[in-house]
Structure 1
Amino acid sequence: MRSPTYGKVSYEKMIEIIKEFINKSPDSTYHISIGTDSQNFSYTKLVIVIAVHRVGSGGIFFYDIKNAKKITNISQKLFLETSASIDLATKLSKSLHKEGINLGINIHVDVGKNGKTKKLIPEIVGWIKACGFSCETKPDSYAASCIADRYTK
């Protein structure tokens, strides 16, 4: 994982950093969000983000970049992005639970009520909720549509 604040860190170190961040202000409200976005080049660049927001006091985020064979079908790209988010959310949820952190994870998807992906919203949101996570779409899906999007360019 990478972070603009902490540089390149292992997954285990990222968990330690998140735990320390939360323990610095344990009475604050936190939102943990995971979002993925992708961009096509001669391949598909996939960026997945973990954002920890301390409401009213900023936050931290980590991201990872993966490359895949070029996917031109927008539905397939969206399902790949969602699958990556669900996989990481499942892993992160287990890791944080072991640390005594049970805040819930919100998955952000880069879909909105306008555009080509609007017809997929019910299916994507249903899939995420069936996996036990809450879901945000545009304009509230900042982990995917803002942070991850920035690193796909």
Structure 2
Amino acid sequence: MNSTTEVAEETLVIEGVWKNADEKRTTVNELYEWISRAQADKDNEYELIVGTDSQRRGRQFCFITAVCLRKMGKGSDYRYNEHFVPSQNFVQSGKGRRVKGNQKLRMFTEVERSIAVATELFDRTGFLPIVHIDASEKAKREFTSEFSDDLAGMVKASGFDCILKPESFVASSIADRHSK
């Protein structure tokens, strides 16, 4: 791939169809306007939160990235986007045979998508997002606990704060709901 194509793909992370909580389509410009209105609201404090979850749908994995504006003490609203990746991208080999999809790689891909969207939102609006990760803390001893520090490290190294389960509702509840 040449560098022009790579740059074009990198700038299109936030492009595409976005939907609101009622599954009504919204444009990317409307997404930015929605965030700008929250920034201009001097009577309320907001958090901008990004999270991604994925599920297999046929021969693809559907990655749902949700962008949530949380009005502190007064509820929240969100927009989300679907991105499909062929399931063969997540097949790993084991002991001479192909095995089920590589969940660990999918988790890293989820976090990469969240970071990319958070970066574009920050670059465009100046509003610093928090990234929610659909992984458990190390103490929980779940599958994702084994590498949750690595996932959190990726987010922090990119300049964002992050939150893991069970408080990571944007990834583990909102994005999860739309990924199924």
Query: Given the two structures, how large is their TM-score scaled by the length of structure 1?
Result: 0.90
Matched, 1:110 2:119: no
Counterpart code for 1:21: A
Q: CA RMSD in A?
A: 1.4
Q: Which structure would you say has the larger Rg?
A: 2
**Cross-structure match for 1:15:** 32
Q: How many residues align?
A: 147
Q: CA, structure 1 residues 145+6, in 2 after alignment: closer, same or farther (shift >3 Å)?
A: closer
Question: Post-superposition shift, 1:5?
Answer: 5.0
Give the one of 82, 86, 90 matched to 2:111. Answer: 82
Residue identity matched to 1:53: R
Separation in 1, partners of 2:34, 2:22? 11
Shift of 1:6: 8.0
Moved more, 44-53 or 105-114: 105-114
Residue number in structure 1 paired with 2:75: 58
- How far does the alpha carbon of each residue in 1:16-71 deviate from its partner, in whole angstroms, 9 at most, with x for none? 12222343x41322111000000013211110000000011112100001111113
Q: Counterpart amino acid of 2:21?
A: P
Question: Does residue 122 of structure 1 match 2:138?
Answer: no
**1:38 aligned to which of 47, 54, 59:** 54
Unaligned runs of 5+ in 1: none
Name the % identity.
27
Q: Unmatched 5+ residue regions in structure 2?
A: 1-17, 91-100
Residue 118 of structure 1 deviates from its aligned partner by: 0.5
Q: Distance between the aligned counterparts of 2:67 and 2:76, measured in 1?
A: 11
Bigger fraction of residues in strand? 2
2:160 maps to 1:143: no
Q: Closer, same or farther in 2 for the Cα pair 1:2/1:66, shift >3 Å? A: same
